[in-house]
Amino acid sequence: MVVTDAARLDVDHFVPLAEVYDSEQTPWSAARREAYANDQKSPDTLIAVSAASNRSRSDKDPAEWLPSDGSYHCTYAATWVGTKLHWHLAVDEAERQALLGLAEDRANTTVVYEPAP
């Protein structure tokens, strides 16, 4: 999909804030939550998406929602995992199974990340 009208775009968190809060291994400080919410150092934390896609996804994880473009699923899963690893976030079992299923389709995909400070 090509979007030519900026009004139809949202800047959103790749891993939604509600999912982050649910995935914290230990409760984050207000400063850490702010660091995630405003992270402009990583190209994967904040992304531009169509407003329609953003509304459709809401705060769902890959067990509950995937992009409509199936050719993007592998990249989506790798970016999701990299973001979770970067911020040291947990995955629940349904999310884990969905990600493993996506990984089976693209066994040669590499997840690259650096731990967040």
Q: What global pTM score does this model have?
A: 0.90
Tokens of 42: 């990583």
**pLDDT digit string (tens) for the chain, length 117 residues:** 788 898 989 999 999 999 999 999 899 999 999 999 999 999 999 999 999 999 999 999 999 999 999 999 999 999 999 999 999 999 999 999 999 999 887 778 888 899 998
As a whole number of angstroms, the distance between CA 99 and CA 80 comes to 9
DSSP code of residue 26: S
Residue 101 confidence (pLDDT): 92
Stretch (H or E) spanning 11? strand 9-13
